[in-house]
Amino acid sequence: MSKKKILLSIIGIIIIFIVGICIYGAWTMRTSYEDKVNKAFSTLEVTQDILTQDDIEDLPAPVQKYLHYVGAVGKPKVHNLHMKIEGEMKQGLDKPWMKVVVDQHNFYDQYTRLFYIKGKIFGIPLTGIDSYIEGKGRMLIKLASVIKVADESGEKMDQAELVTLLNDISLLSPAALVDSRITWNSIDDQRVECSIEDKGMKVSAILYFNTEGALVDFVTEDRYYTRSDGESIKTKWSTPVKDYQTVNGVKFPAYGEGIWHLEGGDFVYAKFHMKLAEYNVTKLK
């Protein structure tokens, strides 16, 4: 066999090996996500209790109006959410947009958030798991599903994930806003302050409503932006939404953005199209 053929054979073997590692890595990440989801399902108890006007009467008027606007009143109380999302994200100010697909499960009796994301950077697969479990937040991202490019945890991440869960509840599972762990402070006819407590932590946000009653923005100071030098600082974060659509009698916004409000200007880093929202599911799909 010629040296050229031997070299090509070696290159072919290396490529197959690398592809195999990537496939295994992707399977491992997905399996990790599914294991966490199944564990949350194992303690889930879904009831058919109906959310009534009596349940919401102590909430601020804009929140009551919002719950009626989305059609939550008269429907079963929400114990969990399964969502599928398509969109684009940026990993930094000078980074290119990356198309992503997301599979997400939230659980509200024991607060849990599991966000599985897939994308590609210059043709190389990227996978990540964003999680909040038993008061602990973590963001794990791997390139080619193998090379760890981010693994953030600790108190700042715990707090960031809890406020992100509050964001999900407010925008995508509003019936779950009726909860003793969530408290309110009225500001005016179209703004309220909302706070959530879990595992000794408390975070807050301002919810903005339009005249029709729809929630159109969520703004908090309780998340951390990681600068290019690696330092994480508390930074204003918002998620404006629009294009409400009705599925199974309940409305939710079909489009939303994630925005960091930096000193040098607003940084839109996420553009999401919500493709599927299912409530009170009983198993992994």
Contact 170, 205 (CB under 8 A): yes
End-to-end CA distance of the chain: 51
Q: Rounded distance, CA 279 to CA 97, Å?
A: 30
Distances (CA, A) of 114 to 32, 41, 108, 161, 214: 11, 12, 12, 10, 26
Instruction: List per-residue pLDDT tens for the chain, 285 residues long.
Output: 565 555 545 444 444 444 555 555 565 788 999 999 999 999 888 888 999 999 999 999 999 999 999 999 999 999 999 999 999 999 888 888 999 999 999 999 999 999 999 998 777 788 999 999 999 999 998 877 667 778 899 999 999 999 999 999 999 999 999 999 999 999 999 999 999 999 999 999 999 999 999 999 999 999 999 887 778 889 999 999 999 998 878 899 999 999 999 998 999 999 999 998 999 998 887
Smallest CA-to-CA distance from 157 within 120, 131, 128 is with 131
Q: Could you give the CA distance from residue 29 to residue 230 in angstroms, rounded to a whole number?
A: 25
- Torsion angles phi and psi, residue 174, rounded to 5: -60, -25
In whole angstroms, give the CA distance from residue 119 to residue 85: 12
pTM over 0.85: yes
